[in-house]
Structure 1
Amino acid sequence: MAKYTYYTDGAATMNYKNGKYVREAGGWAFVLLIDNAEDSSHSGGCPLTTNNEMELYAIYASMKDFISKCESGDIVEICSDSGYCIDIFTKWAKNWQKRGWKKSDNKPIKNLKIIKSIWGLMDKINQKQCILKFIKVKGHSSNEYNNKADELAVNAKMDAFKTGKTTYFDENDGLLGGKSKYSN
């Protein structure tokens, strides 16, 4: 039984212009430790996105990576500095699903496509009889691997801004891009 620890992070720029938030480039990244030893990292970006979308995509990419490597009984820890993202999967998503993927106030859920994709990956992890844990870590602190994930995400954001290209973990997932520049 192995323990996979993924430090995930997202970074994005949104500016307030003419009374609206304007999406700009963002990046996502994860750093993988297997049995507490650093193993690998991945990152990518999108020219028009939000920070939450990038945080979520980093979690999605880490789970896809885990599923491609894991064996029954393995443990996966998803470490994120986004309390919002952790709360989605530990507190809210189960009830959203029961209500037909709507919030309690019947308002639409932002980033629903990627949230549902992660929810499906969580089911696959469960079917493989692996243990999934979400861990909240403090951002921009002394956590070496969270800082490394942040640096990779920021670099990927700058690359997406310069090139105008979207870099996925899984080129066939279609979860990034397609957003309008102006959004809240």
Structure 2
Amino acid sequence: MAENKNKHVIIYTDGACSGNPGPGGFGIILQYGEHRKEISKGFPETTNNRMELLGVITALEALKTPCTVDLYSDSKYVIDAIQKGWAVKWRSKNWMRTPKEPAKNPDLWERLLNLLEVHDVTFHWVKGHAQNENNNRCDELAVNAWKQFK
């Protein structure tokens, strides 16, 4: 078996919205060894789920080379859609959840699925607004990002 020589990166992401839809933002922490980077961005009109997805996408797009990633999120929407294979299934059905119901956010799911072909990502769910310092920091970054549009 070939040894994996990819960099191991730890990512925390969170999305937030004031109203749904409403002003929203995401917060990201990227950690590689001793290096740590925080990223956030706000939008005037969006949804919480779009912010959760865009946080994950933006974090993975920030990686310059293929990496092994442990990604932590409090979004069951994102985690379940990937771990349970829902997003892959939606794509295989031309972005339909059921014969009459389209999947939401297909533009973002497509971007995420493409990134998962580049990076070896393991998703971890963390309880939001709990004792996870990095998740709480991402929430703070996300909230501060949308507040500029309030």
Question: How many residue pairs were aligned?
Answer: 144
Structure number with greater Rg is 1
Q: In structure 1, how many angstroms separate the alpha carbons of the residues matched to 2:31 and 2:118? A: 21
2:55 alignment partner in structure 1: 58
Greater percentage in strand? 2
Query: Is the partner of 1:103 in helix, strand or coil?
Result: strand
5 Å-filtered alignment, 1:104-123, equals 104-123=98-117
RMSD of equivalent CA atoms: 1.6
Deviation at 1:53, TM superposition (A): 0.7
| TM value normalised by structure 1 | 0.73
Q: Secondary structure at the match of 2:78?
A: helix
Distance 2:35 2:126 in 1: 17
* Contact 2:10–2:31 (Cα < 8 Å) also in 1: yes
SS in 2 for 1:124: coil
Structure 1: tracts of 5 or more residues without a match: 15-21, 126-130, 162-184
Task: Write out per-residue CA displacement over residues 125-157 of structure 1, whole angstroms, 9 at most, x where no aligned residue.
Answer: 2xxxxx210110111111110011000000001
Contact 1:27–1:160, Cα closer than 8 Å, also in 2: no
Correspondences of 1:8-157 after superposition (within 5 Å)? 8-14=13-19, 23-35=21-33, 37=34, 39-66=36-63, 68=64, 70-71=65-66, 74-91=67-84, 92-125=86-119, 131-157=120-146
Unpaired stretches in structure 2, ≥5 consecutive residues: none
Shift of 1:111: 1.2
Distance apart, 1:117 and its partner CA:
1.0
CA positional deviation for 1:23: 2.5
Deviation at 1:160, TM superposition (A): 3.0
* Structure-2 residue corresponding to 1:181: none
C-alpha contact (below 8 Å) 2:21/2:48 kept by paired residues: no
* 2-structure distance, mates of 1:58, 1:119: 14
